[in-house]
Amino acid sequence: MRRKLNLKLLMGTSFVLLAYFLVSPIGFQSTGPFQAQPAYAGFFDDDLDVFDEVLELVADNYVYPPDFKKLFTAAIDAMVKMVEKENLTVTSVNSGKTLEVNGKKFSYRLSFNKNENMQALQGVYEFINRELKGKIKKKDLEKAGIDGLMDSLDPYSLYMDKEEFEASMRDTEGQYGGVGMVITLVDNRLTVVRVLKDSPSARAGVLPQDIITRVDGQEIKGMQIHELAAKLRGYPNTQVDIDIFRPSTKVTQLTTLTREIISIETVQYKYLGDQTGYISISSFSKQTNDQLEEALEKGEKDGVQAFILDLRDNPGGLLGQSVKVVSHFLEEGQLVVYTQGRDRYDTQQYESVYDDRWSKKPLAVLINNHSASASEIVSGSLKDAGKALILGERSYGKGSVQTIFRMSDSSGLRLTTSKYYTPSGIDITVHGIVPEIQIERDITGLPNDTPSGKSQDAKTPVVKPIVVKESELQKFLKKRGESINDDTDLLVAFAKMAINNPPQPTKSHALAKARELAKGMHHY
């Protein structure tokens, strides 16, 4: 049995019977250099059952039609790489390959046929296990094959063992045991994006932009984000040593952190004065909408007439939560986002679920290069609906839907099953969300506009944004008598001017005011 956990909040249960009837006689040799699959496994042997589960899920549910030759090539290559230090050699022979170890050989050839390739992979698996008996665990070899297969798909599809899967599920609940930092990959370096307040990382002095180089003495070069996250997490009151390089000082320091239960506060509210409220959403977990409603209630008590919604550095999260969040600022029944799967009939629409008073209030949304997935759904739908002025940088461009599947052995699979589109039909993966007011970072010197993996040449079907340099904005604010220091958020200050003083009745009014402000800045 495998259980499918769909992060679109659609729960379901599927059942599958996995059985192989291997009828080729042992020792059968083909007339060419390639061997037919011998019946190594016993009838009740569960070898490669999990691999087969993963393969079937990919074949049936992946957003694009599967290329079985590519999938099996990646899987076998990963298995072979795992044991290459054991003097196993690989030789290309005609249209196939031959493995050799300890004087024994096994040849195989891959095609575009799933069943033929599965036989080839079984042959490789059994050959390695038989000839390297005692040097490798079968489950480790199987997992290498699964990881290879998944790596050939896309960056967001992932196989998780039982422990990793449980940790992933805890994250969506809004609680986990860890050190309290948000990390991302910048120029192939694992970088701290944000440190949660009153967390072990905050108390140890970890800062945004710090780069993690080692965990418990292990160098993490080439490690993926999920692998590092798994190493940082653990049971409360256990310790983890991390080496942190700080670019501003060029110093690397060893820091010991004591893990604890981290309650994820995804929403923060602050009253900015002048009837303007500021709400920051760091991610979309199961707690996010409840926390947002609390923030909106505080705003109402403070007499807020205009909101700034900050989605910068928000990596995304649960689709259902993003729909609820954006519903507070739309009319009930308005289209928020739609998804499109492999089949043209595999589409689903998500509409606003609330009839909220905040849909009539001025709103600005802040995004940057690290705003992804669910945060792009929120900003994209509000932009298309004409409800919010979007400021900042072009978003990351992760417009794909991941569905979670629980495997029969309690491991899990995160698989890309469809793609997100904004109400106007913009492909988020291709274009990201382009702000109407784009801030050019000429003070911080950080990368601007081009999200990871996106091209400047992408023909985004939108009007070219108004570009404002940080230096122009800073000078403009000083001229207006604003107090500028290291803690001043220039974008928040600009957003407040654009939508307030007085509150702008519509997005078009706010955009017109933003254009007027930007024009004035260029004169300084």
Domain co-membership, 252 together with 287: no
How many folded domains does the chain comprise?
A: 3
Strand partners, 338: 349, 421
Q: Give me the phi and psi of 111, to 5 degrees please.
A: -130, -160
- Using CA atoms, how far apart are residues 69 and 143, in angstroms rounded to an integer? 19
344 has pLDDT over 60: yes
Residue 419 located in a structural domain? no
Strand partners, 467: 438
Domain co-membership, 230 together with 375: no
Domain co-membership, 274 together with 392: yes
Residue 337 located in a structural domain? no
pLDDT of residue 173: 64
Give the residue-averaged pLDDT of 327-346: 93
- Using CA atoms, how far apart are residues 495 and 497, in angstroms rounded to an integer? 5
User: How does pLDDT run across 112-138, given as a tens digit for each residue?
Assistant: 999 999 999 999 999 999 999 878 899
Higher pLDDT, 37 or 182: 182
Domain co-membership, 245 together with 102: no
Domain co-membership, 144 together with 207: no
Residue 423 located in a structural domain? no
- Using CA atoms, how far apart are residues 415 and 152, in angstroms rounded to an integer? 12
Domain co-membership, 390 together with 500: yes
48 has pLDDT over 60: yes
Residue 181 located in a structural domain? yes
Q: State the number of CA atoms in the 13 A half-sphere of 371 facing the CB.
A: 30
- Asked if 311 and 277 count as a contact pair (C-beta separation under 8 A), the reply is no
User: Considering the chain, what percentage of its residues have pLDDT values greater than 90?
Assistant: 55
Residues of the chain by 3-state class (helix, strand, coil), percent to 5:
30, 25, 45
Last residue of a domain, one of 233, 263, 293: 263
Local structure of 230: helix, strand or coil: helix
Domain co-membership, 319 together with 391: yes
* Range from 7-11, 118-122, 355-359, 504-508 that averages highest in pLDDT: 118-122
Last residue of a domain, one of 263, 289, 319: 263
Higher pLDDT, 62 or 224: 62
Domain co-membership, 272 together with 258: no
Domain co-membership, 70 together with 196: no
Domain co-membership, 387 together with 484: yes
- Using CA atoms, how far apart are residues 393 and 486, in angstroms rounded to an integer? 21
pLDDT of residue 175: 61
Domain co-membership, 101 together with 49: yes
pLDDT of residue 522: 62
Q: How confident is the model at residue 13 (pLDDT cuts 50, 70, 90)?
A: very low
Q: How is residue 414 written in tokens?
A: 């995160």
Asked which of 120-124, 143-147, 489-493 is least confident by mean pLDDT, the reply is 489-493
Domain coverage including residue 127? 2-153
CA 407 and chain centroid, separation: 21
Q: How is residue 355 written in tokens?
A: 């009839």
Can you give the CATH number for the domain in which 325 is found?
3.90.226
pLDDT of residue 311: 98
Residue 21 located in a structural domain? yes
- Which residues 6+ apart lie within 8 Å of 350 measured at CB? 319, 323, 335, 336, 337, 338, 339
Helix (H) or strand (E) holding 519: helix 507-521
Give the residue-averaged pLDDT of 28-32: 30
Residue 226 located in a structural domain? yes
Higher pLDDT, 170 or 498: 498
Q: How is residue 117 written in tokens?
A: 């390739």
Domain co-membership, 26 together with 135: yes
- Which residues 6+ apart lie within 8 Å of 115 measured at CB? none
- Asked if 196 and 180 count as a contact pair (C-beta separation under 8 A), the reply is yes
Residue 508 located in a structural domain? yes
User: How does pLDDT run across 230-263, given as a tens digit for each residue?
Assistant: 888 888 889 999 999 999 999 999 999 999 988 7
Q: How confident is the model at residue 6 (pLDDT cuts 50, 70, 90)?
A: very low
pLDDT of residue 497: 86
Last residue of a domain, one of 234, 263, 292: 263
Residue 481 located in a structural domain? yes
346 has pLDDT over 80: yes
